[in-house]
Structure 1
Amino acid sequence: MLCFFRGMAFVPFLLVTWSSAAFIISYVVAVLSRHVSPFLPYISDTGTTPPESGIFGFMINFSAFLGAATMYMRYKIVEKQNETCSFGTPVFNLVSLVLGFVGCVGMGIVANFQELAMPVVHDAGALLAFICGVVYTFLQSVISYKSCPQWNSHTTCHVRMVISAVSCVAVIPMIACASLISITKLEWNPNEKDYVFHVVSAICEWIVAFGFIFYFLTFIQDFQSVTLRISTEINDDF
């Protein structure tokens, strides 16, 4: 357990645990309140109706902040590693960071614009979060391979690429099936024509979401050797 608090490892660890709790708590509250079916609701379905909407919004907003902080620190780590032993272009690392930040903005949109209240805005935020998130994990996996074996083990690189590949594969049917659903609703009947599309899309959505969580879990070891220093300077020439 202490390894999670060595250096700055607590940042991705907190992101992973907090985000997992956000999904699970919102799901449990929504099911117990009988607002959604226990069987494969969309993640957004579990944060649409009060009281779970407040829990979901607050926790996902903080997850977006933690995600942005983790991505920025990862960017600085790769930047410093690249200065020590050049293995890639800085632009590649920067593009990854920008896409990650856009994905975090998408998470914020999902958290603050509920699915039934503003479906177009909510869906746009979800697309940003999932697509940019998947591309971010893929780019980070490529960077990991480029910095291997000095900064990453082959096992870590393979794990990251597998998670990234699964997420990439899952996000395609998730979007395709969701676009074929003709109505936005929380309760589904197996006899409805769009039910199969809903189930496939929901399964893929949960796979991608927890793929992100497990991906950031692999950052913990990298963050153990990182320290954060805050320097304050006061200019009295005024």
Structure 2
Amino acid sequence: MSSPPLTVFFCSDSHRYAMAVMNHHVCPVENWSYNESCSADSAKHGYPKSCCTLEDVPLISKCGTYPPESCLFSLIGNVGAFMVLVICFLRYGQLIEQSHSSWVNTTALITGCTNAAGLVVVGNFQVDYAKSLHYIGAGVAFPAGLLFVCLQCVLSYHVAISVLDFWMAHLRVFLTTVALISLVLSGIFFIHESFLLQHLAAICEWVFVIDILIFYGTFTYEFGAVSNDTMVAALQHSNSRGCKSPGSSSTSTHLNCNPESIAMI
């Protein structure tokens, strides 16, 4: 279920970056030769970036500052926030179906919703026109997204039964570690007025976002057995147990119960 959105958002981000480079709004990420020898005219907005300044670093926000890529940036932020909400509620409801209601699961839902709210702010307030709001949104979205994946790692081990379940949990820990390192390095590099460190900050930002998208894609493993009652369980905070299909693990449970069991939800 989460693979199509993963592909769409990855392609959209790639297109947005390509549009920003083609429209000479940012420097390509492979251009490391930043210098201050540009003439006044060649450094203006819209000129080919044969030489780059700090204003041309291909940060994620910079790739969505000017139209037409700014329109795509807002669209990705809004649709992405909606998809994050759907994934968070489905995962929350699925664990409740499996009788794994806990404070960790509830906290994961809250952090996921917080992440979605931050994405809306980031996507709709471009950094060059509403810097304070944009940075507030980023300051909410990035840490909340990181906390969400950390909590999902804990939940993955908590509900794991089969060998494949544990391998999926190991994969998520690896992805979370990469996300943590890239986010921390991005913040450290970003605060320095250095061409090299700003460029590294941009690369770390892109690594973080792509890594989080891959993490969300791993939910395909569990969401293959999502039923209509999963969202009902999430919305009603039900503690009913999902009925297992023969030979399935706990991560592939679904409601296949009699009417009396369904009516209890």
TM-score by length of 1: 0.80
Q: State the one-letter code of the partner of 1:228.
A: N
1:33-112 mapped onto 2 (5 Å cutoff): 33-39=23-29, 41-81=58-98, 83=99, 90-112=102-124
Q: Give the corresponding residue for 1:121.
A: 133
1:183-198 mapped onto 2 (5 Å cutoff): 194-198=194-198
Root mean square deviation of aligned Cα: 1.9
Once the two structures are TM-superposed, the CA of residue 150 in structure 1 deviates from its matched residue by 5.0
CA distance in 2, matches of 1:17, 1:171: 22
Contact residue 18 and residue 63 of structure 1 kept, 8 A: no
SS at match of 2:227: coil
SS at match of 1:25: helix
CA distance in 2, matches of 1:164, 1:152: 18
Once the two structures are TM-superposed, the CA of residue 28 in structure 1 deviates from its matched residue by 1.2
Contact residue 141 and residue 160 of structure 1 kept, 8 A: yes
Q: Which of these residues, 20, 25, 28, is aligned with residue 15 of structure 2?
A: 25
Contact residue 22 and residue 60 of structure 1 kept, 8 A: no
Judged with a 3 Å threshold, the aligned counterparts in structure 2 of structure 1 residues 70 and 198 are, in CA distance, closer, same or farther, namely same
CA distance in 2, matches of 1:128, 1:148: 30
Query: What are the Cα deviations for residues 171-209 of structure 1, in whole angstroms up to 9, with x where unaligned?
Result: 11211222334xxxxxxxxxxxx2122112112111110
Q: State the one-letter code of the partner of 1:197.
A: L
Once the two structures are TM-superposed, the CA of residue 127 in structure 1 deviates from its matched residue by 1.7
Q: Give the corresponding residue for 1:220.
A: 220
Q: In terms of mean alpha carbon deviation, does 35-44 or 47-56 score higher?
A: 35-44
Contact residue 134 and residue 168 of structure 1 kept, 8 A: yes
Q: Give the corresponding residue for 1:157.
A: 169
CA distance in 1, matches of 2:120, 2:5: 15
Q: In terms of mean alpha carbon deviation, does 64-73 or 12-21 score higher?
A: 12-21
Q: State the one-letter code of the partner of 2:80.
A: S
Q: State the one-letter code of the partner of 2:157.
A: Y
Q: Give the corresponding residue for 1:15.
A: 5
SS at match of 1:215: helix
Q: Which of these residues, 162, 168, 184, is aligned with residue 180 of structure 2?
A: 168
Q: In terms of mean alpha carbon deviation, does 144-153 or 72-81 score higher?
A: 144-153
Q: Give the corresponding residue for 2:192.
A: 180
Detail structure 1 runs of 4+ shifted over 4 Å in the superposition: none
Contact residue 29 and residue 203 of structure 2 kept, 8 A: no
Q: Give the corresponding residue for 2:199.
A: 199
Q: Give the corresponding residue for 1:187.
A: none
Once the two structures are TM-superposed, the CA of residue 75 in structure 1 deviates from its matched residue by 0.8
Q: State the one-letter code of the partner of 2:84.
A: G
Q: Which structure carries more relative contact order (alpha carbon 8 Å, separation 6+)? A: 1
TM-score by length of 2: 0.73
Is 1:210–2:200 an aligned residue pair?
no
Contact residue 30 and residue 52 of structure 1 kept, 8 A: yes
Q: Give the corresponding residue for 2:145.
A: 133
Which runs of 5 or more structure 1 residues have no equivalent in the other structure?
Answer: 1-8, 182-193, 232-238
Larger Rg belongs to: 2
Once the two structures are TM-superposed, the CA of residue 151 in structure 1 deviates from its matched residue by 9.6
Contact residue 19 and residue 60 of structure 1 kept, 8 A: no
CA distance in 1, matches of 2:76, 2:180: 25
Q: State the one-letter code of the partner of 1:26.
A: R
Once the two structures are TM-superposed, the CA of residue 26 in structure 1 deviates from its matched residue by 0.7
